[in-house]
Amino acid sequence: MSLSPEALSPPPSLSDEQTLNAAVACLSEHLELDTQGQFSAQSLFEVLLWAASRQDSIEHASQLLSGVPSGNGIRHHLSKLKDLPALEGQLNSALQANLPGQIINRRQRLAIDLHLIPYYGKPSETEGNYVYRSCAKSGTTRFFAYATLYVIRAHQRVTLAVHAVPRGESLVATITYLLAAIESLKVKIKRLYLDRGFFSIPVIRWLKALGIPFLMPAIIRGKTGGTRALCTGSCSYRTSYCLKSQKYGSVDCPMVVVCRYHKGRKQKHGIQYSTYQSVEVQ
């Protein structure tokens, strides 16, 4: 009997060109992009995919590639996509179009991440609806925020849905939107992993009320009290903790405290503490 995890799909054998063609065909089928002039929507998708796969800018990609639209031309066409909710629906349809059969109608480990892109300058009326306030980072407290939901299987991740987080949307609403976006897949939650951006009383209370098992990093706060008081000892352990807030009240939740030794990594020594909120459903 094999003890190795079941593969999500057969070993990949597609060439770069075949992968590009498949991605362009999927985007062309699901995204409505009106283009004018000598370049087609497929040409724009090819430039965007080339830049995204290399984590490059549109401007630099258009300069390196020959026979493609200019950076200004690409941005002109992208600026036509003003209906963001409709665009999200099209992108999520594309993400879910060719999923491996082992994902649909199965119990899966799901993860949700919150991504913040620093924003500088004065936003337009449309952009202002999606300028997200958060803790200072990279010289600003304003960000474009988007959340992603993906499945984790056989040490692989497959993104199932994305969501641009509008200003004022609660974290509970963000999670609800993403889970609703995959409702047609009939995926059951084996466990939900969330990043520390979702660490809050409303989220914890809501997940416990729905009976969703989850694991989420807990933010270490306080100088001697709060969650920092849990960071003691030299061995990892489990405990219970009551998270309190003047605005949201309190909620009890099991806590896991993980101890690791730095061992000189990054010129640090001693114990490194990490805390996680973990709820299982019997």
Residues 119 and 186 occupy one common structural domain = yes
Taking only the tens place, the pLDDT of each residue in 137-184 is 888 888 999 999 999 888 888 999 999 999 889 999 999 999 999 999
Residues 247 and 282 occupy one common structural domain = yes
Identify the pLDDT of residue 245.
87
In a domain, 204, yes or no: no
Residues 191 and 112 occupy one common structural domain = yes
Residues 77 and 122 occupy one common structural domain = no
CA distances from 58 to 39, 63, 106, 273 (A): 16, 9, 38, 41
The answer to whether residue 240 scores a pLDDT higher than 60 is: yes
User: Token pair of 48, please?
Assistant: 């965007």
The answer to whether residue 271 scores a pLDDT higher than 90 is: no
Taking only the tens place, the pLDDT of each residue in 70-81 is 888 888 888 888
- Written as one letter, the residue type at 6 is E
Taking only the tens place, the pLDDT of each residue in 198-237 is 999 999 999 999 999 999 998 888 877 888 888 888 889 8
Residues 140 and 193 occupy one common structural domain = yes
Residues 96 and 75 occupy one common structural domain = no
In a domain, 2, yes or no: no
Overall number of domains in the chain? 3
Residues 174 and 231 occupy one common structural domain = no
Residues 32 and 72 occupy one common structural domain = yes
In a domain, 203, yes or no: no
pLDDT band for position 1 (cuts 50, 70, 90):
very low
How far apart are the C-alpha atoms of 33 and 194, rounded to whole Å? 33
User: Token pair of 108, please?
Assistant: 């899966």
Query: What's the pTM?
Result: 0.83
Residues 240 and 164 occupy one common structural domain = no
Residues 186 and 231 occupy one common structural domain = no
